[in-house]
Amino acid sequence: MIEKTAIDVCIATFKRPLALRELLESLRSQSLSGISMRLIVVDNDQQQSACAVVDDFRTDSGLEIVYDVEPQQNISLARNRALGHLRADYFAFVDDDETVCEDWLQRLLDGLHHYQADIVFGPVISILPEGAPAWAQANFKRARHHSGAKMETGGAGNVLMKRTVLAAMQQYFNPSFGLTGGEDTDFFYRMHLAGRRLVWCDDAWASEPVAPERLSLAWLRRREFRGGQNFMKIFVRRYPAYRKPLWFAFKSAQITGAVLALPLVRLTSYPLYVALTIRVAAASGQLSYCFLGKDYEEYRVHSSH
């Protein structure tokens, strides 16, 4: 009998029971002829809103599924708790609001072996609501690459890794990114700096619906501002001393020029106006962290109690 490859699939979830159920159903539909899959779900909601979904799915599917709770709201701590349950030589991460293609896990594993990689990423395809404005098409379209492309970093929404990548790491996902996002970009960039081989596998796709409330310029600005802050923390701080003044001068000029151009662009092309204004937000995020050193915590949920 041919021995199957064991893979642990890690899911950090927070108050998305319906979306989580859809993800679990897509995982149940995986073609697993040569793979033994175990699921690890870490609930980042101290009220355990995912517990009933996991229990029902475990009963219906017969799949092995581990459920744990990280009571402190922090995506990094939730991901790290999932890593504490690893048993297999390979492990994946997928986000709780995604669904995956039928051969997702097999395609990631094939890509990992074919390109002799330590870490392999797949694309996440954004699904916009019906009637979404035209400008949203470009701004919610995520980058894709040819299969085998070398990466310096990536996201934890669709990724497979060898468990050996965790060896000698002093820190897994950094808790300081726990309410800002960017913990995965930081994690994988550190992997790259440590000499791990990161590649892309374009046919191992997952899809993610875009919530209607995100189809606003205000939301995009906030997201890009936060992304700019994270870029500063992850990349700019590692620049050599001579490069930082050049970066600062360029960002300052970029913001000044864009702000001057915005009124004219607004009159001529709204899609270009959207693209320019969110670029200003990203650059402003970088400079804001340079001066203030204070995070915009997009994912903090304020209690009313």
In one letter, which amino acid is 104?
W
Per-residue pLDDT tens for 181-219? Answer: 999 999 999 999 999 999 999 999 999 999 888 999 999
C-alpha 18 chain-centroid distance: 19
Strand order in the sheet with 119-121: 65-69, 35-43, 5-13, 90-94, 158-162, 119-121, 198-200
Rounded to 5 degrees, φ, ψ at 62 are 75, 5
User: Which has the higher per-residue pLDDT, 289 or 62?
Assistant: 62
Per-residue pLDDT tens for 57-108? Answer: 999 998 999 999 999 999 999 999 999 999 999 999 999 999 999 999 999 9
